[in-house]
Amino acid sequence: MNNKYRENHNKLLEIGKLEPNWDGEGGKTFSADFLKLVNGILNQIFVQPDEVEGAGNGNIIFEYGSIRYGNRYMAFEISPDEVVKAYFRDEDNNRKEDAIGIADINEWISAFWINN
């Protein structure tokens, strides 16, 4: 288990402890089954996200990129019903958004890192 995976796994454990309205705006809690699904995804992807965050709507977000990556950014928003929304922005601010399957996450990660 690498350090970044361990850090992201621990972040999921913390997300699992959040109470209703954790964000002051009606934030939903995260079920143990959903967190297990997300942890399984973390275990299968070949590049760990820079950030793992809970969203108030009950989804989990994986974020990649920042200024140090030439302003490239990619995120996956995973919902409890296993819908994944993928977001990508390149250094020229071109954007792409798509609904993808869990099995497609590594393909998007590969494209992001190949172009870095």
Sequence-distant (6+) residues with CB within 8 A of 56 are 23, 25, 26, 27, 28
Q: Is the pLDDT of residue 23 over 70?
A: yes
| Cα angle 42, 3, 79; round to 5 | 20
pLDDT at residue 65 is higher than 80: yes
User: Which range has the worst mean pLDDT, 16-30, 42-56, 62-76, 97-111?
Assistant: 62-76
Average pLDDT for residues 99-105, to the nearest whole number? 94
pLDDT digits (tens, 9 = 90+) for 25-59: 999 999 999 999 999 999 999 899 999 999 999 99
Domain limits, the chain:
3-114
- Write down the pLDDT at residue 72: 82
Mean local confidence (pLDDT), 75-99 = 92
Give kind and range of the element (H or E) at residue 74: strand 73-78
CA–CA separation, 30 and 18 (whole Å): 8
Token duo for residue 89: 């922005």
Query: Can you give the pLDDT at residue 78?
Result: 97
